[in-house]
Structure 1
Amino acid sequence: MPHARLSRTLLAGLIAAAAGSAFAADAKAPDVTRHQADIDKIVSEISPKRIEAYVRKLVSFGTRHTMSDTTSDTRGIGAARRWIKSELERCGAGTRMQVAFDSYMDQGGPRISRPTELVNVVATLPGVQAESKERMYVVSGHYDSRVTDVMNFTDDAPGANDDASGTAAVMEMACVMAKHNFDATLVFMAVAGEEQGLLGANHYASEAKKNGWNIAGMLDNDIIGSSHADDGRKDDTQVRLFAQGVPPAKEMSDAMRTLVSTGGENDTISRQLARHIKEQGERYVKGFKVNVIYRTDRYLRGGDHSPFLSNGYAAVRFTEPNENFDHQHQDLRTVNGKVYGDLPEFNDYNYIAKVAKVNAATLASLALAPAVPQKVGARTDKLENDTTLVWEPNKEPDLAGYRIVWRETTAPFWQGAKFVGNVTEASLKLSKDNYFFGVQAVDKDGNVSPATYPMPKR
């Protein structure tokens, strides 16, 4: 496709020329495209073998149904969560990572037939920069499992893909990343109660909202285990990333109404997070595509990122490219030689590792970068063809300055960029009628934040 590549290159050059700057980074700007050595090291250490061992250990507990046995040391969700916690404590020994249970009593509902203690396993790696440590990035997988009947808590429910794959990926990330320092705080969670109605995630997200925690991004990994479709096709070259646009609220907030009225429905905080994930993931995991899907989740379905979205946080979901429903939410059985059930032999552990690497690269880049710029506005106090953006200054001591990014209104990802220095106002010779803009914060090492969409400012 040489002509297609040429046309995109020419387009970028023409847009940059119109903006009055070279498309390449300014000579004084930090290099935001170079690989960070620490991130390369983290990505290289993610191990398919360890991920497989984690999955098989989780499967060995027989069932991890939310209402299953909690007293046995070898079977049920109680044994599973105690093992997850002990394993995270073991691999985090000598590091700053703190591991704890996050529990509450659920009094029952449509999928909980009796009062049940729900327990999330939470490993927190505190940030080391005073100005950034209150900013948090959460990554999760759910460790509970189920069979065909969601209320069946006694039969074997191996849950190797749904969602031992996501739990194992999160555990592997935590163990590898615990040895590194980050400006902001990372939270690695194995969540309970997903199959019973996103209960564990809802508890954590609600507590975060109530306590005013600054969760700047949440990554949910659910069903990331298989590279094979139900028709036998193999695709280990991409992962789906579901990112919400306008929230499906009964009443739209003033801020969301302004976003929509200016055409920014594809510039919500979750879509901005998704753009960052795609850029960083594809940079550090060569030959692997992050396929951003403009939906909250799969059609009319949901996952543990949904409660975070409902509480106003940027949240996205990773899922394999093609689900095989013979190996999801199925009683274990063989019919006419066909095996049904979510068994570990149907996982692709090299594929899970690739998805984990994308997650790890993203989390590291976010936790090393400055916070997203705040109160970004586009001046509208006079009619002009130029675009002037303003924002509040960041507080990080290693801040180098700010980068304005833009794209045409029909383009999903950023097409142009200009580093404008450590200022709080900048103008471009591009019309706000014809382009979408964003402002990113950049530190002296070239770590760059996701973009913030500018709201009208008079």
Structure 2
Amino acid sequence: MIWWQDDQSLPFPDELLQLADTGERTADGALYLVGQAGDSFLSEFPEARVAVDNGRYLVVSLTNDERAKAEQANSACFGVSPVPENSHVLRTVPAPLQAPTARSTITDLVSESELIASCTVLAGFRTRHSLSSEFTSASDWARTRLQSFGFAVATQTITVGGSPSSNLVADKSGTGANRRLVIATAHLDSINISGGAGAPAPGADDNASGSAGVVEIGRVLGPQSSENDLRLILFGGEEEGLHGSRQYVAALTPADRARLDAVINMDMIGTLNVPAPTVLLEGAPVSQQLMNDLSDAANEYTSLTVQTSLNPFASDHVPFINAGLPALLTIEGSDSNNTSIHTANDTLDKVNGALAAQIVRMNVAVLARRLHLNDVPAAALSAVGSAAADLTGDQSADIVGFGDAGVWVSLNNG
């Protein structure tokens, strides 16, 4: 195993050196990669022999018995797998050397204040546990909002531990003859693990922030005309084991599977865990091009530091990937530093609206490109001072290009 970090003056991790010795820290078993939400794995296995701790990703030494115990835990919050060979577990994407030329884009319509307003509503419910009446109320609120943006909204009944819950599915049809399907998702439910189903679980970051992101995408893209179809999904049952997304993928028709272009999942996009605003793009080889597009969009339209990983776990992108479909998670960087999730302390004051808005802007850029937006009305961009974007005088903003990072329109006649 190779340990690599940008600052080569930093020493090789003591933990790895110790595991190679013959003392009590000797690796009694093989090395395994652990993906964890928060510090869920270390909380359950505090005596684990950790070789590398990168927060969300750990490399640990496990005997066969220890691995079996970890697998039997059947946790929705962590996963254990052999350390992958010849691949990056986590890498930081270098920022571009030159800043892009200023121009007005559809991403400028993303509103931090709208995101915070939606987070405020969702985190205002005592809980959004998948089996609670408050979850239903939160879903009803989201339904009303998405319908107001022009979406046809339906409820998909699911089961969580044998009891009924639901997914909310909102569709906006495109105008093309052979329409592709582009999906944005988040889980609507929250949980208080130690307190149980009846305990307060505001879930402001996990995952009112991601759900607010889906609603904001609906507000920005719903009024626009596009060639391809846009579908927004708010899943239930994520916290208990990805029930909503598993059952949704299982029920996908062969036709929708064949035309599915991309799935962008948002889970915890609102807490600034490190000084530099950072996003992790987590997918698999099937979603490599989508990862590249999002990385380009982040560099083009935001100041986000981008990290990437091809080791997916523990969120609603995983069932799509397991079905061979191109899906990817967008999540705040260093999410394991956020110790408030799954408790009553995951409150609105922990949410950083500026970070959430940047992640949503990145996602909107890629969604817009893959939707193939038709002409964007000039009035829609008036908030960013782009009246000159109407190059042809037909009261619509002319789309000048579909770059790798998204859809953009000219700010001037040059």
**2:367 pairs with 1:350:** no
Question: Could you tell me which of 260, 266, 270 is aligned with 1:225?
Answer: 270
Contact 2:276 2:305 in 1 (8 A): no
Q: Tell me how far apart the structure 2 counterparts of residues 346 and 243 of structure 1 sit (CA, whole Å).
A: 26
AA aligned opposite 1:353: A
The Cα of 1:361 is off from its aligned counterpart by: 0.5
Q: Tell me how far apart the structure 2 counterparts of residues 67 and 201 of structure 1 sit (CA, whole Å).
A: 16
- Corresponding residue of 2:156: 102
Contact 2:271 2:338 in 1 (8 A): no
Contact 1:281 1:362 in 2 (8 A): no
1:23-422 superposed matches below 5 A: 40-69=104-133, 76-90=134-148, 92=149, 95=150, 97-104=151-158, 106=159, 112=161, 115-131=162-178, 133=179, 135-149=180-194, 152-210=196-254, 212-213=256-257, 214-228=259-273, 233-236=274-277, 238-245=278-285, 269-285=286-302, 287-296=303-312, 301-323=313-335, 324-330=337-343, 332=344, 341-368=345-372
The Cα of 1:449 is off from its aligned counterpart by: 7.4
Larger Rg: 1
The Cα of 1:343 is off from its aligned counterpart by: 0.6
Q: Tell me how far apart the structure 2 counterparts of residues 165 and 352 of structure 1 sit (CA, whole Å).
A: 7
The Cα of 1:276 is off from its aligned counterpart by: 1.5
**Count of residue pairs the alignment pairs up:** 281
Q: Deviations over 1:112-147 (max 9, x none)?
A: 2xx32221112212111112x2x1111111110001
SS at match of 1:137: strand
Contact 1:235 1:321 in 2 (8 A): no
The Cα of 1:295 is off from its aligned counterpart by: 2.0
Scaled by the length of structure 2, what TM-score is found?
Answer: 0.63
Contact 2:238 2:316 in 1 (8 A): yes
CA-atom RMSD, angstroms? 2.5
Q: Tell me how far apart the structure 1 counterparts of residues 368 and 255 of structure 2 sit (CA, whole Å).
A: 25
Considering fraction of residues, name the structure with more helix. Answer: 2
Taking only the aligned residue pairs, the percentage that are identical comes to: 25
Q: Tell me how far apart the structure 2 counterparts of residues 288 and 367 of structure 1 sit (CA, whole Å).
A: 23
AA aligned opposite 1:166: G
Residues 449 and 47 of structure 1: CA distance in aligned 2, closer, same or farther (over 3 Å): closer
Contact 1:280 1:365 in 2 (8 A): no
Q: Tell me how far apart the structure 2 counterparts of residues 215 and 270 of structure 1 sit (CA, whole Å).
A: 12
Scaled by the length of structure 1, what TM-score is found?
Answer: 0.57
**2:413 pairs with 1:447:** no
- Corresponding residue of 2:42: none
Q: Which runs of 4+ in 1 moved over 6 A?
A: 34-37
AA aligned opposite 1:349: G
AA aligned opposite 2:350: F
SS at match of 2:186: strand
